Amino acid sequence: MGLIHEDLRRTLAEKNEEFRKLLAEHASCESRLQELQGKAALEESERVESVNIKKQKLYLKDRMEAILRQHLDRPTGAGAGR
C-alpha cells in the first residue's frame, strides 16, 4: 500500500489545490525550522517560534493525511481531484 499511497500523494499534489497548499506550507515550515535548528543558540522568541512551527507542521501533516485517507476510502474509479 505504500506505493499506492505515494502515487496518490503525487496525484493530489498535482490536482488538489488544498493538498498542494498544505504541502507548500509544510515545506515552508520545515525550511524555517531547519534554519532555526542550524543556530548555535536560540533566543527565547526563537524557541517559542520553533515550538509553534512544530505544532503547525503536525497540524498540516494531519490535514494532508486526512485528505489522503478520504481519497483512499473512495470506491475504485473515483478521481483524486476535487
Q: Please, which pLDDT band fits residue 82 given cuts at 50, 70 and 90? A: very low
Sign of CA dihedral 26, 28, 32, 38: positive
- Average pLDDT score over residue span 1-8: 80
Structural domain containing residue 50: 2-72
User: What are the tens digits of pLDDT across the range 36-79?
Assistant: 999 999 999 999 999 999 999 999 999 999 999 999 888 754 44
Count how many domains the chain has: 1
Amino acid in the structure at residue 53 = I
Give, in order, the Cα–Cα distances in Å from 38 to each of 23, 32, 33, 42, 46: 22, 10, 9, 10, 12
**Is position 54 within any domain?**
yes
**Is position 82 within any domain?**
no
Angle at 32 between CA 26 and CA 36, to 5 degrees: 140
Query: What is the per-residue pLDDT for 76?
Result: 58
**Is position 81 within any domain?**
no
